Structure 1
């Protein structure tokens, strides 16, 4: 018996997001939903949860099925509540408040955070609150929208363990752009497309390989069908000429039959599916002539309350070097990012234990995308950096922000659209040094891979903070780790990954 069945589902919101989608979810299935930004993943989850209506099609849920949706963003009405109260709001029976602390214990939420307002907590703890709010209802099916956003590696690992410990019959459908996480927790993958979505009973990486093979086979089949149709049309043309010259009615009939066969083959032939890109990720790296763009010379990095978090040795970043900053939450990564920003602002005066070269042109992206004014429009932000309105509109369209969205305020954009807009604005600044704090938050897998390639191809220098293991492995050329009160260079990230897994 299935938990949920979808038949011929279509959704159009201004443009078709997906059509003719059919799938069945069995008890215990862990389905990863993969698509480019803006292709309808969140909208599909809302339809499955009964919070939105599809354009066409049917959704059949098993009798008595309890579904809980864990959204990407905290609903505004919850922000003023304490974490505990927000979680308790998920209870069907308020006499079962004891479930709240059990759910929070399972997710290792510290006791001193439970009575703080949700708005005062980090994005990671807010995500834990949303997950606990769903868990207290003991649902048969979880729908999770980007559950790893804002989580560090340790808490991503804890989430993996939490999912593994769910009752065997519990179903999960989740969207994520974290490839390593998808590989660890899913048993099935659905690639959501405008048409001809494809599903595989495999986790992400193996499913991606199977998808590439299937698309290649479709492409070969399409080419063969067209070649066969072309051959039939050529045969028909020859017979037609012979029939006209000889006056043979039989050849005229045969010509008509061959032409009809060619038409049927052409009508049935379908080109290989090509995912519509959410927009190109392109960066520009200006030439840098300084031998070291950033230098740390026994710098002390302190917390806002003055506590010393760590001391650096003598470290530097030169042109083209991509340095990944490793360390658990609270170790001081954000404080180092802020110190680099301050050093860049003071680079003309020189001095200090953290020095930015005068030649440094910094491009900074904050993990909360705070550099994007919420009331400004994408068009206003980009046109201020370009010479013509048409160029601004073209750049925005190339970044995946359609014309009908270009005049809306930033706060109305999806997380993925904001991420792509932030990267576009960075590109237009033409920096030679990127300071990137969780740049893959909300960015789809296509966008992540494009960003990885751009960082490598452009030879851009950068200091990067990320909890995405696949992105770190693909992007980093050097690695700095905060450990034992020191910032030290290490050979690679794998030992840190193993230590974080053991810490949970």
Structure 2
């Protein structure tokens, strides 16, 4: 097979000697770095086209590059087979340097002696070499990341100024208050400071909603409190609902009852003592101890515990049969509900909840709102659900600018007061600026007037004493945009006709299901967990085939899908830019960055490992990936999970402006009201369209609660 040099000589017989030396140097020096013919065309194709005397077109140049690429691949294979022999050969560096002429200057990609004039466009050579160097640097960076072993993520840490008074009270055991006061503390994540000199005061019995933008440290703060990295009196019990319950042979109801360790310990001791007495192995003191145990069990109302646990489980969606199933039989989402049920049953002094509504359907959220309104101890909850916060929170804590600001009242009240505060702050700042300018004019006018010297000095001192007010630090607006893929298709666009579906023939998920959507649709699917919402979405997309019935989709329909488990589909060990480059090769880094920037992943966020991003930031990466191919129809499964409120508002606006169809599953009431025009209720193996929208659906759920005795 001809060498690269032979191909160049035959195709470009009049090729300038310097260009020939440059191109062959690139091919033989970096041939192993070319992963495709496109990369080779990008490196030398433009240069070859410029110097071609017979004006070869793009197709001819690409064909030549293909031959060069094939030759390089063959040479690489030979080199790998001979690598052991070549490496064993001694390398005489002195022989190499002896032949080097120190009077030679380096030009882009080749050697030219001083005084020699190049016929080549030096700028084009520099540009070609710069492209190649950037490609090589990127590959080296990726290879070094792979060779560095498993990804090690930064860790969160907290520090706090010590108070002698609190330390004394804690050590003496005199502190009986259940209020939480954490003063002058810092929280960091790696080198990034999340909170600096912050104060957090939680009054016992109040319910606090913690809000703020994605990535500012809300979840990290909860973890620091739960791990007691921040000082909290030891007599205050803390429960953080973070991880799902482990799957084992324990029935769901028993798993919840076991949270009450006092009750479990007393019952265990009662069983042991009773067994001793019945076996005749007693020592005579068992009767008195049993009387004490029965008194304590009566005091803590131990007999009512199973009923209380059952009510909590039922409210969270566990029917009587499910309550007797072992925990290992439940999926991760249901085991997270179990973790929440255990926390509610245990009734800690400080309950920490991180996005509790993410794992719940609308029915369970409505029940949880009602249940928490009568909670006796303290709650600190991170949530993006405005309606949930309005129903539950007595106070709002706003995390921003590395500090915490507390507001009395629900979320709507917080928004009003915050806006008023910001307006007042801006007015005070502008008034002070005008006052400063007025004084400065006087100083500048009479600075060199001896008769006014004392007045000027007085004004200067006045300026120094003025408190330094800062302008309002407005949070940047979140903007999302879904590229339009709108074309006028003749209906039907997407349709299911008399569809039956099951995973197990003994249990139908759907019977005779008939639904349809078009490019103007804004449909929300609601229903209890396990009713088949996600399954229906997968049938609509064609991922699952109906057992009976027909799925029809227009031939030009291009669906973008957002999964509620979208994080599982992202490679967490690489950056967001590299993620898009792998999924959609052939574009520039600037194009990938622009796409990510459209969803709020800009600057250093775009090049950090995806694993180091917050939950909301990972969701934005998933949106950027989903919209890269410009679908004309979106199917979104719980798209608001992990997003902050500003991003949810931006997502709603983007969907309303999008010229195409949308079907989504969501439990966020405000988001549903902002976006959807149709409501489909998934229940009893079919889907029902509710004419009255979300208001009617909410009324139906409340009526069910009343019948079941929950309200």
Write the distance in 2 (CA, Å) between the matches of 1:236 and 1:29: 53
Question: Higher Cα Rg: structure 1 or 2?
Answer: 2
Aligned to 2:579: 381
Q: Deviations over 1:94-145 (max 9, x none)?
A: 5267757743542323454456565652454223211233345431111111
Looking at secondary structure, tell me which structure has more helix per residue. Answer: 2
Check conservation: 2:251, 2:326, Cα contact below 8 A. yes
Specify the alignment match of 1:5 in structure 2: 181
Of the structure 1 ranges 80-89 and 177-186, higher mean CA displacement relative to structure 2 is found in 80-89
1:56 aligns with none
- Listed one character per residue, the Cα deviations across residues 418-458 of structure 1 (whole Å, up to 9, x for unaligned) are 21111111221211111011101111111111101111123
Cα distance in 2 for partners of 1:96, 1:357 equals 66
Aligned partners of 2:612, 2:329: CA distance in 1, in Å?
A: 22
- Cα gap change, 1:438/1:2 in structure 2, threshold over 3 Å: closer, same or farther? same
- 1:438 maps to 638
1:69 to 228, 237, 240: 240
1:155, distance to aligned residue in structure 2 (A): 0.8
Which of 475, 478, 498 aligns to 1:299? It is 498
Aligned to 1:139: 348
Residue 676 (structure 2) pairs with residue 479 (structure 1): no
User: Residues 105-254 of structure 1 correspond to what in structure 2 (within 5 A)?
Assistant: 105-108=311-314, 109-114=318-323, 118=327, 120-166=329-375, 168=376, 170-240=377-447, 244=448, 248-254=449-455
Unaligned runs of 5+ residues in structure 2 are 1-176, 268-301, 706-711
1:126 match: secondary structure: helix
**Cα distance in structure 2, aligned partners of 1:445 and 1:269:** 29
Structure 1 runs not aligned, ≥5 long: 54-58
RMSD of aligned C-alpha atoms? 3.2
- Aligned mates of 1:390, 1:133 — CA distance in 2: 49
Contact conserved, 1:146 with 1:174, CA < 8 A, in 2? yes
* Counterparts of 2:629 and 2:196, CA distance in 1: 39
- 1:290 is matched with 489
How many residues were matched structurally?
480
Matches within 5 A, 1:54-93: 59-61=231-233, 64-71=235-242, 73-74=243-244, 78-79=246-247, 82=250, 84=252, 87=256, 90-93=259-262
Structure 1 residue 182: Cα displacement: 0.7
Residues 416-425 or 10-19, more deviating: 10-19
What SS is found at the alignment partner of 1:268?
Answer: coil
Q: What whole-Å deviation, never above 9, does each CA across 1:281-322 have from its counterpart, x for those lacking one?
A: 332221222144634364324332242635445x54332431
- Residues 86/52 of structure 1: CA separation in 2 closer, same or farther (3 Å cut): farther
Instruction: Select between 470-479 and 295-304 the one with higher mean Cα deviation.
Output: 295-304
**Compared CA separation, residues 236 and 118, structure 1 to 2 (3 A):** farther
* Alpha-carbon distance, 1:196 to partner: 4.9
Matches of 2:541 and 2:385 in 1, distance apart? 28
* TM-score (ref. length: structure 2): 0.61
Equivalent in 608, 616, 626 of residue 426 of structure 1: 626
Q: Which moved more, 1:27-36 or 1:365-374?
A: 365-374
1:149-195: per-residue Cα shift (whole Å, max 9, x none)? 120111112212321343x3x11110111111111111111111124
1:380–1:6 Cα change, 3 Å: same
Q: Select between 255-264 and 423-432 the one with higher mean Cα deviation.
A: 255-264
Residue 700 (structure 2) pairs with residue 493 (structure 1): no
Segments of 4+ moved more than 6 angstroms: 343-346
Aligned mate of 2:204, from 12, 16, 27? 27
Contact 2:595 2:628 in 1 (8 A): no
Map of 2:298 onto structure 1: none
